[in-house]
Amino acid sequence: MADYDVTQYRDSVRGWNEDPKKYLNRYYTIHYYVETKQTQENKPKVGNIYVRQSPNKICVLGFAPDHPIYKYDPLTSRITVRPCTDVLGKKVKPSTVVCEVDIDGHIYQLQARMGGVLKDLNPRLVKEPQLLWEHGMDEGYVAIILPQFEATEKQLAQFITSEAYDSHRAQSQS
């Protein structure tokens, strides 16, 4: 007979069904890349991204909550997601484009923002682009990268913490 009592874990999992970030925050650390350069006219646009890093250092990339794609209504916009499958399984650099999203003729790129190997591109986004809006922090992820460096401080040197990102968002909204 096991000494396992599920009641002792209820508080730690409370709310997981309502807020997937609660589950993810238990197992992943989240970092944000805040875009500092201005996008030139007639060039694909970039924006802030998030990276969820698991304990084994694998990184899950997606569009940050303040990314410009979220100003569009997915119900009324024409959306095409184009994962860059030509780099799948290959080494990527921070500037490597891993996905493009075309919304009503406006093209947004998600760049790797780290060195490593592109292990996966979310295949569901092609047929279900609304996942970016409905589940952007979990099922609507864009890519998975195995980073080049083992040391977190090196592989995520250009990223900021979740707390710093929240502060950045509060300042830019005021």
Q: Report the pLDDT value the prediction gives residue 23, as an integer from 0 to 100.
A: 63
pTM: 0.82
Domain 31-173 class? mainly beta
How do beta strands 91-92 and 79-83 pair?
unpaired
Q: Report the pLDDT value the prediction gives residue 36, as an integer from 0 to 100.
A: 77
Q: Which residues does 89 contact at the CB level (< 8 Å), separation at least 6?
A: 117, 118, 119
**Domain locations along the chain:** 31-173
Dist. CA 132–CA 78, nearest whole Å:
14
How many residues in total does the chain contain?
A: 174
The C-alpha angle with vertex 34 and arms to 93 and 79, in degrees rounded to 5, equals 80
What are the pLDDT tens digits along the chain (174 aa)? 556 676 766 766 676 667 656 666 677 889 999 987 665 555 677 889 999 998 888 999 999 999 999 999 999 999 999 999 999 999 999 999 999 999 999 999 999 999 999 999 999 999 999 999 999 988 999 999 999 866 667 878 889 988 899 888 888 776
